[in-house]
Amino acid sequence: MIKLLVLLIAIGTATAVTKVPVTIYYETLCADSMAFFTKQFEPTWRQLNNYIDLELVPFGKSSYTPLNNPGAFPQIPGAVVSSKNWTCHHGPNECMGNRFQSCLIDPSTNANLDAKITLINCLMQKATKETPYDATALQCNLEKPTGMEIASLVACAHTQKGEDLFEANGRKTALLQPPLTSVPTVVFNRSFNKADSDAAVSSFKSALCSRITDNPKPKECDSANGASSITFSLISVLTAGLIIHQL
């Protein structure tokens, strides 16, 4: 019996989850970023989030120049405090969206990552260039309550803290080598490869599953990688059965 318990513990230890580092560089109103998040990333997250060590970087091709008279930034809808003149790839409302999501994903925001992904997914479905980003955030929280204080996130996005977090994402983006040329860009294991990123944008689940080192792979990867994990699982069960029989 003792040998059997030791064997079962060993099997359990062998199936411990190993997370894959995933970094996603994106823009909050980019059609390709929105499609990737809602059709590729979020469905895979719901199935395999235990295998993902996630970092989100909402910045993309944004840029800025210093303002001579820092204060309210008229190019972004609403009274936004800014020390810089921001230009975002898809217009002023994207600057607001990038600031808002920078506040949302910041570790100081009191919410679990799953709740943050729920809100981001709704924003990536509903946000437009014309509708104020704050209003879209409020609508999303009404439709899919996450327990987060939207008012505090809006306040963050409209103040210097939101700009600082947004600018920090710009520094992360600038460090990417080779430099970012399109969004979304997906990086696995903190090493950027354009071909790997393109494959991930096309089929994030397949790209993730190919990098999961656990053996067997999770059953959710069967549809992405064929029946290899099922086969290995059956072999493992049969092997364990033979060992137990010999005890």
Give the pLDDT confidence of 46-98 residue by residue, as tens digits: 999 999 999 999 999 999 988 766 555 556 667 788 888 899 999 999 999 99
Q: Between the CA of residue 59 and those of 72, 96, 131, 221, what are the distances in Å?
A: 21, 11, 19, 30
> Which residue is associated with the tokens 């823009």?
27
Written as six digits, the tokens of 206 are 């397949």
- Of the given ranges (4-13, 34-43, 104-113, 190-199), which has the lowest mean pLDDT? 4-13
pLDDT at residue 162, rounded to an integer: 96
- Say how far apart CA 160 and CA 203 lie, in whole Å: 37
Computed over its alpha carbons, how large is the radius of gyration of the chain?
22
Which amino acid type is present at position 98? Answer: N
pLDDT at residue 81, rounded to an integer: 82
- Say how far apart CA 196 and CA 186 lie, in whole Å: 8
Q: Between the CA of residue 50 and those of 44, 122, 150, 232, 244, what are the distances in Å?
A: 11, 21, 26, 21, 30
Name the packing angle between helices 133-143 and 150-157 (round to 10°).
160
pLDDT at residue 73, rounded to an integer: 58
Give the residue with greater pLDDT, 236 vs 187: 187
Mean pLDDT of all residues in 160-184:
96
- Of the given ranges (145-149, 160-164, 207-211, 235-239), which has the lowest mean pLDDT? 235-239
pLDDT at residue 57, rounded to an integer: 98
- Say how far apart CA 89 and CA 77 lie, in whole Å: 16
- Residue 229 above 50 pLDDT? no
Model confidence at 3, in pLDDT bands (50, 70, 90)?
A: low
